[in-house]
Amino acid sequence: MSDDEVDHELLDLLRKSLGLGPPDPSAPPETKVLQNAEFIYDNSIDVALDMRHTKVAAIDILKQMQEREYSTKAWSEHTLHPKAKDESTVNFIFTMDLLNFSFWSEKEEGDRFAVKYGEEEKRWTGYWSLVAALQRALDEDIPITTPGFWVDEEECSEEVLRKVFRSETEEEIPLFEERVRCLREAGQILEEEFDSSVVTLIEDAKNSAAGLVNLLAERFPCFRDEATFERKKVRLLKRAQIFVADLWAAFEGEGYGEFNDIDKITMFADYRVPQILHTLGCISYSPPLEKRIRNYGIIEPGHSWELQIRGCSIWAIELLRREILKLQPDAKVNAILLDFFLYDFAKEKEKNGEEAIPHHRTRSIWY
Residue 152: CB atoms within 10 A of its CB come to: 14
d(CA 167, CA 111): 10
Do 41 and 35 form a contact (C-beta atoms < 8 A)? no
d(CA 259, CA 240): 15
Annotated catalytic residue, options 97, 225, 246, 270? 270
Is 233 buried (19+), middle (13-18) or exposed (0-12) by CB count in 10 A? exposed
Pairing assessment for the beta strands 226-229 and 232-235 based on DSSP bridges: antiparallel
Let me know if 330 is a catalytic residue: no
> Minimal CA–CA distance to 89: which of 104, 108, 76, 103?
76
Which residues lie below 8 Å from residue 310, measured CB to CB, with a gap of 6+? 40, 236, 238, 269, 270, 274, 367
Q: Distance of alpha carbon 101 from its chain centroid, rounded?
A: 9
Residue 356, phi then psi, degrees to nearest 5: -150, 160
SS3 184: helix
Which residues lie below 8 Å from residue 311, measured CB to CB, with a gap of 6+? 36, 37, 39, 40, 41, 44, 229, 234, 236, 269
User: What positions carry a catalytic annotation?
Assistant: 270
